[in-house]
Homo-oligomer: A and B are copies of this chain.
Amino acid sequence: MIIKIDARKQAVSEIEILDKVQQESAARRLDDLETPCLILDADRMDRNIVRLRERLAPLGVSLRPHLKTAKSIEVARRVMTTREGPATVSTLREARLFANAGVRDIIYALGIAPWKLAKVIDLRRQGVDLAVVLDTVEQAQAVAATSRETGMAIPALIEIDCDGHRSGVLPNDQDRLVAIGRAVTDGAELRGVLTHAGGSYAARGDEALQRCAEEERHAAVAAATILRDAGLPCPVVSVGSTPTAHRAVDLSGVTEVRAGVFVFFDLVMAGIGICQIDDIAISVLATVIGHQREKGWILVDAGWMAMSQDRGTSRQEINQGYGVVCDSSGRLFDNIILADANQEHGIIKVRPNSGATLPQLKIGDRVRILPNHACATGAQHRSYHIVRGASDLIEGEWQRFGGW
Is A81 among interface residues, defined by CB-CB distance under 8 A? no
- For A20, the chain B residues whose CB sits under 8 A away are 9-11
Is A387 among interface residues, defined by CB-CB distance under 8 A? no
From A11, A14, A136, name the one whose CB has the most chain B CB atoms within 10 angstroms: A11
A287:B113 contact, CB within 8 angstroms: yes
B19:A100 contact, CB within 8 angstroms: yes
Is A335 among interface residues, defined by CB-CB distance under 8 A? no
Which B-chain residue is minimally distant from A363 (CB atoms)?
Answer: B138
Residue interface mask A5-44, B partner, CB < 8 A = 1? 1111111111111111111100000000011110000000
Is A73 among interface residues, defined by CB-CB distance under 8 A? yes
Binds B, one of A144-152, A207-215, A247-255, A304-312: A304-312
Give min CB distance, A173 to chain B, whole Å.
11
Cα-based distance from A288 to B299 in the complex (angstroms): 42
Is A273 among interface residues, defined by CB-CB distance under 8 A? no
Determine which of B11, B23, B345, B404 lies in contact with A16 in the assembled complex, contact meaning CB atoms within 8 Å: B11
Cα-based distance from A389 to B397 in the complex (angstroms): 43
Determine which of B12, B73, B295, B301 lies in contact with A15 in the assembled complex, contact meaning CB atoms within 8 Å: B73
Is A114 among interface residues, defined by CB-CB distance under 8 A? yes
A401:B1 contact, CB within 8 angstroms: no
> Which A residues from 322 to 348 make CB contacts under 8 A with B?
342-345, 347
Residue interface mask A87-126, B partner, CB < 8 A = 1? 0001111001100110000000011111100000000000
> Which A residues from 207 to 263 make CB contacts under 8 A with B?
none
Is A364 among interface residues, defined by CB-CB distance under 8 A? yes
Is A381 among interface residues, defined by CB-CB distance under 8 A? yes
Cα-based distance from A115 to B18 in the complex (angstroms): 22
Cα-based distance from A23 to B122 in the complex (angstroms): 11
Give min CB distance, A194 to chain B, whole Å.
14
A363:B114 contact, CB within 8 angstroms: yes
Cα-based distance from A347 to B168 in the complex (angstroms): 13
Known: A8-B1, A292-B167. A287 touches B115 (CB 8 A): yes
Give min CB distance, A380 to chain B, whole Å.
8
What interface size band does chain A fall in? 35 or more
Determine which of B1, B18, B73, B110 lies in contact with A344 in the assembled complex, contact meaning CB atoms within 8 Å: B110
Is A174 among interface residues, defined by CB-CB distance under 8 A? no
Give min CB distance, A263 to chain B, whole Å.
15
B11:A342 contact, CB within 8 angstroms: no
B3:A4 contact, CB within 8 angstroms: yes
> Which A residues from 365 to 404 make CB contacts under 8 A with B?
375-376, 379-382, 399, 401-404
Which B-chain residue is minimally distant from A109 (CB atoms)?
Answer: B344
Instruction: Give the interface of A toward B (CB within 8 A).
Output: 1-24, 34-37, 68, 73, 90-93, 96-97, 100-101, 110-115, 135-136, 138-139, 161, 164, 166-167, 198, 287-292, 295, 299, 301, 304-306, 308-311, 342-345, 347, 362-364, 375-376, 379-382, 399, 401-404
List 19 extra interface pairs beyond A4-B4, A12-B382, A110-B301, CB under 8 A: A1-B7, A2-B4, A3-B6, A15-B401, A18-B100, A22-B96, A34-B92, A90-B305, A111-B289, A113-B364, A115-B287, A115-B364, A135-B290, A136-B290, A166-B347, A304-B310, A305-B379, A306-B404, A309-B311
30 A-B pairs whose Cβ atoms sit less than 8 Å apart in the complex: A1-B14, A3-B4, A3-B6, A3-B7, A3-B17, A5-B21, A9-B24, A11-B16, A11-B19, A13-B73, A15-B97, A15-B100, A19-B96, A34-B92, A36-B404, A68-B344, A90-B344, A110-B301, A110-B344, A111-B289, A111-B290, A113-B301, A139-B363, A166-B342, A166-B345, A167-B292, A198-B342, A343-B376, A379-B380, A381-B403
**Nearest 9 Cβ contacts at the A-B interface:** A11-B20, A111-B289, A309-B309, A13-B399, A15-B100, A90-B344, A111-B290, A113-B287, A15-B97
